[in-house]
Amino acid sequence: MIKENKKIKRIKTICCVGAGYVGGPSMAVIADRCPDLNIFVVDSNLQRVDAWNNDDLSKLPIYEPGLDKVVSRTRNRNLFFSNNIDESIKKADMVFISVNTPIKVKGIGAGQTSNLKWVEACARKIKEIATGHTIVVEKSTLPVKTAQSIKDILNSQDQNEVKNKSFSILSNPEFLAEGTAIENLEKPDRVLIGGEDKDAIDLLIQIYENWIPKNKILTTNLWSSELSKLTANAFLAQRISSINSISALCEKTGASVYEVSKAVGLDKRIGKEFLQAGPGFGGSCFKKDILNLVYLCNFYGLGTVADYWEQIIEINNWQQKRIYEIIVNRLFGNLAEKKIAILGFAFKANTNDTRESPAIEIAKNLLLEGAILNIHDPKVNKLQIESAIEVESKSKKSNLNIWNKFERIDDTVNGVDAIVILTDWEDYKNLDWIKISKLMRNPSWIFDTRSVLEKSQIKNLEANYWKLGDGFL
Ligand code: NAD
Ligand code: UGA
């Protein structure tokens, strides 16, 4: 079916390019709330597509509480996962770009700005394939002004090309957090839509109005929308680095970071969210988005502003290094062949995502010191760990297992010299910590970077206990 090149009255068909942590859940919720819409989520990664289509809902490619239920209501009703990219773009009134935008690893801006090759590939594909009028929506997080490049690609005309297609470009950044994605999508604090074409903006508003109150839908110009997303992530990360910097000072002075963060957060002007000290923020976005902000500031000659934001990443790296150094020092400066249990490898609880997880840097450093790691995580698999730490589990020289993934906690902690808690999984809170401390080799240490153990659980431990932001208790 070829669409006409005229203004769209109502969106009937959506295509979303990118079936990842954002594309999958966000389209599933739209499909759930808008049964009249047909949504085609496409991805070039066939393995991912197959996993989205798996009959066994526990095998979806990403773990998110509640996602299985939404997918079971919508999949193959009005939500379809495939790699039929061309066909899906062709029939869509609205195409969401929800592809990855990781930091460039080579060339100009390497290590500093997003690699936009996947976004550009999408724009070129849409230009080639779309028919009639199409609304293109940036869902990926992009450096401010990227919409201009997308517009330039979409509106470029090849020689002898008959102009029978047209485009409107909107920015609609996603604010969901992993682990609470469904909740965030169903009840967002706000939906942000940036653009210049009022008709296109209204059509996107109509979709969200199916379940989101109008006063939570904010419209801005394209550039404000793009920059608001980077700024929101930078502000959130800034709070974490601020409290983490104070956690170190607490350990030196006898103050407790948990008491300080409570006292500070009770001030309504400050608020209590994102003041939890920990091993540093992970996840695919905070670091990337701040690096983009820093790059943009430098590009526009705002060096002092760039330096200010860069400090947030500096503190984050420092916090991870600091934790590793404390572990080495406490274990008599020597980890050679000592067994250490790592509890939690995901960057936060309730996700199987390990991108930029603090566990990666800490585990790599402990391995470099010669430690043997017993790793546990309820949702992360062995392959993910292997590709994250880039170290095979068996040492080629000695045939020794230098790290292992365990399924049971008892096996993970048996005979270890230390336990390092790096992810705040609920399961860890309910363990019998006294029993666990008895399974360790003495003298033993528990390093709790997530404040998982409560006061009552610490009292009769047979291990030494160190809590981030409190020190040794
Ligand atoms: P992801 O890597 O999980 O998913 C991206 C998907 O896009 C991949 O499956 C990839 O195969 C596919 N893809 C890339 N290029 C393609 C192409 N040309 N054609 C078809 N498929 C293609 O990434 P994600 O975590 O979903 O993030 C996507 C964007 O959303 C990023 O810009 C990110 O910054 C932003 N974001 C992410 C989160 C989050 O919680 N992960 C939250 C808000 C915003
Ligand atoms: C974050 C933002 O919260 C989302 O709004 C945004 O859409 C998303 O990034 C994105 O753009 O990708 P996410 O990274 O999934 O979401 O998860 P967060 O809950 O923000 O946690 C990020 C990291 O900060 C985790 O490692 C977490 O453990 C850590 N954190 C969070 C703390 O150390 N302390 C806190 O108080 C809160």
Q: Residue with the nearest Cα to atom 14 of ligand 2?
A: 283
Task: Quote the ligand 2 centre to 236 CA distance (angstroms).
Answer: 8
Q: How far apart are CA 50 and CA 46, in angstroms?
A: 6
Which one-letter amino acid corresponds to residue 221?
Answer: N
For 218, phi then psi, to 5°, come to -110, 135
Which amino acid, 121? A
Query: Catalytic site residues?
Result: 174, 229, 285
Best mutation site among 138, 233, 258, 421 for ligand 2, i.e. most ligand atoms within 8 A of its Cβ?
Answer: 233
CA dist., res. 236 & res. 238, Å (int): 5
Span from the CA of 177 to the centroid of ligand 2 (angstroms): 6
Task: Measure CA 457 to chain center.
Answer: 31
State residue 375 phi and psi, 5-degree precision: -105, 135
As a whole number of angstroms, the distance between CA 200 and CA 386 comes to 45
The tens place of each residue's pLDDT in the chain, 473 residues long, gives: 556 656 788 999 999 999 999 999 999 999 999 999 999 999 999 999 999 999 999 999 999 999 999 999 999 999 999 999 999 999 999 999 999 999 999 999 999 999 999 999 999 999 999 999 999 999 999 999 999 999 999 999 877 676 789 999 999 999 999 999 999 999 999 999 999 999 999 999 999 999 999 999 999 999 999 999 999 999 999 999 999 999 999 999 999 999 999 999 999 999 999 999 999 999 999 999 999 999 999 999 999 999 999 999 999 999 999 999 999 999 999 999 899 999 999 999 999 999 999 999 999 999 999 999 999 999 999 999 999 998 888 887 787 789 999 999 999 999 999 999 999 999 999 999 999 999 999 999 999 999 999 989 999 999 999 999 998 77
For the CA of 178, the closest atom of ligand 1 is 40
Ligand number with the minimum distance to the CA of 450: 2
Q: Across the strands, what pairs with 467?
A: 448, 471
Ligand 1 pocket, residues with Cβ under 6 angstroms:
17-23, 42-45, 48, 85, 98-101, 118, 121-122, 140-141, 174, 176, 178, 284-285
pTM of the model: 0.96
Q: How far apart are CA 419 and CA 465, in angstroms?
A: 10
Classify residue 19 as exposed, middle or buried by CB count within 10 Å of its CB (0-12, 13-18, 19+).
buried
Ligand 2 mutation pick, 22, 225, 236, max ligand atoms within 8 A of CB: 236
Nearest-atom number in ligand 1 for the CA of 142 is 32
The strand pair at 418-421 and 445-448 is best described as parallel
In angstroms, rounded to a whole number, what is the distance separating the alpha carbons of residues 156 and 167?
11
CB of 319 within 8 A of CB of 469? Answer: no
Which amino acid does the sequence have at 208? Y
Q: How many CB atoms lie within 10 A of CB 143?
A: 22
Closest C-alpha to ligand 1, atom 2: 100
Measured CA angle at 201 (ends 155, 66), to 5 deg: 110
**Unique residue bearing structure tokens 């550009």:** 120
Helices (H) and strands (E) in the chain, counts: 18, 15
Q: Name, in order, each residue with C-beta under 8 angstroms of 472's C-beta and a sequence gap of 6 or more.
A: 464, 465, 466
Closest ligand 1 atom to the C-alpha of 284? 41
The phi and psi torsions of 373 (rounded to 5 degrees) equal -105, 130
Closest C-alpha residue for ligand 2 atom 6: 175
Label residue 131 exposed, middle or buried (CB < 10 Å: 0-12, 13-18, 19+). Answer: middle
Contact 60, 103 (CB under 8 A): no
Question: What is the distance between the alpha carbons of residues 436 and 92, in angstroms, rounded to a whole number?
Answer: 56
